[in-house]
Structure formats: C-alpha cells, structure tokens
Amino acid sequence: MKPTDPPALATKLLESLVPLRTSEALLGDLIEQYQSGRSRSWYWRQVILALVISAGREARTRKLQAIRALIVGYLCGASLCYFSTSAAGKFLGPYTVVGAYLLFLPLAFISAAISGWILSRTHSRPMVLVFAIFGVIASLVALAVYALFPGDRMPLPMPVVTWAVTLAINFIIAPLGVLAGGLWGSCEADDASASPRLGAP
C-alpha cells in the first residue's frame, strides 16, 4: 500500500454501509482532502461521523424497516449466542469461569457477525449500522440502569473480570461483529451483482 492511500478499512466501511447517493461523492471529497495533506485520524473521524449520521438519518426516514432490522438482528444475534454457548458448554463439560469467558467471547463475535450478515442480506445496508449503533446505545442505557438500580440478581460490585467481559462484549465485540458481518454480506452481494455484468458482452 502506498503511504498516500487512505485507510482501506474506513473506505470499505463507508462504501459498503452508507447509501450510494452519499458515499460516492463523500468518499471522493474525503480522498481529495486526504491527498492534500489531511491525516489518517482525520479520515477515520470523518468516516465514523458519516456512519453515525447515516444511521440516524436512515432510522428517522425508514422507521418501520429500522424497527424490523432491530428485531431481526437482536433475535438472530441473541439466539445464536445463547444456543452456541449452551451447546459448547454441554460438549465441553464443566469448565472454569475464565474458560467460559474465553469460549463466550469468540462465540459472541461470531453470533454478532452472523446477525450483521443476515441484516445486510435482508435489509438495506445502512440498517446494519442502525443495529450496531442501537446496540451500543442500548448497552449504555442498560449500564446506567444497572448502576442506578443494581437489584438482587447482580449486586454491585461485580467481579472485575465480569465487568471487563460485559463491557468488551457490549461495546467492542458485538458492534465490531455486526459491522464485520455487514461488510461480509455487502461484499458478497456486490460480487453477486457484479458477476452477470462481467460475463455480459
């Protein structure tokens, strides 16, 4: 990769998850600015902002589809995570708490990625973003509710490992998994739509 090339992952995220109407011209502008001396961190900031703005706009303008995407995404992700960890637990037998977390983290990522992939194949692409961002916001709300009203089931303070795993899953692993699945699904869709054109005379 040449040093003057903008960050490829950021470009791919914008290209794949933001509607073409916005992404084409915006990417051109970002690349133009990057080539004229803007930093990689500036480029990433602009892309992240574009993803958040696009998700907000899509959620506002296509409310029903957004609600359906949240339901489908949550049902897929949560049920896959629940069944895969249960099955793995039965298969592996008794294991330590740390072992459980080591097993749970990759399974949570894979479940989130599959839900992202399903969303990108069944809904418009920005709905993957809507789902990922909603997940982060819902986790923040849940965290605030838990901090304010701890209840009896999970009394404060939680063990440090449990905190670390909960935060890692809600704020890093699940959103990244959903975005990775969304990218995977949109790349497959692009390949499928490009194939007939390549073979065309």
Partner 1 sequence: MADHLGSFELMVLLAVLRLDEDKTYGVPIANEIEQATGRSVALASVYAVLERLEDRGWVSSRVGESTAQRGGRAKRHFHVTAKGIRRVREAKGALVKMWMGIRELQGGTT
Interacting residues toward partner 1 by CB under 8 A: 6, 21-22, 24-33, 35, 45-46, 49-50, 53-54, 57
45 or 87: CB nearest partner 1? 45
We find the least distance from the C-beta atom of residue 118 to partner 1, in angstroms, to be 27
We find the least distance from the C-beta atom of residue 76 to partner 1, in angstroms, to be 29
We find the least distance from the C-beta atom of residue 57 to partner 1, in angstroms, to be 6
| Backbone angle region of 93, left / alpha / beta, with phi > 0 → left and psi within -120 to 50 → alpha | left
C-beta neighbour count of 86 within 10 angstroms: 10
Measured CA to CA, the distance from residue 6 to residue 103 in angstroms comes to 35
48 or 172: CB nearest partner 1? 48
27 or 69: CB nearest partner 1? 27
47 or 81: CB nearest partner 1? 47
Residues 6+ positions from 115 with CB-CB distance below 8 Å: 72, 73, 74, 76, 77, 80, 131, 177, 178, 181
We find the least distance from the C-beta atom of residue 172 to partner 1, in angstroms, to be 23
C-beta neighbour count of 165 within 10 angstroms: 21
HSE (side-chain half, CA atoms, 13 Å) at 175: 19
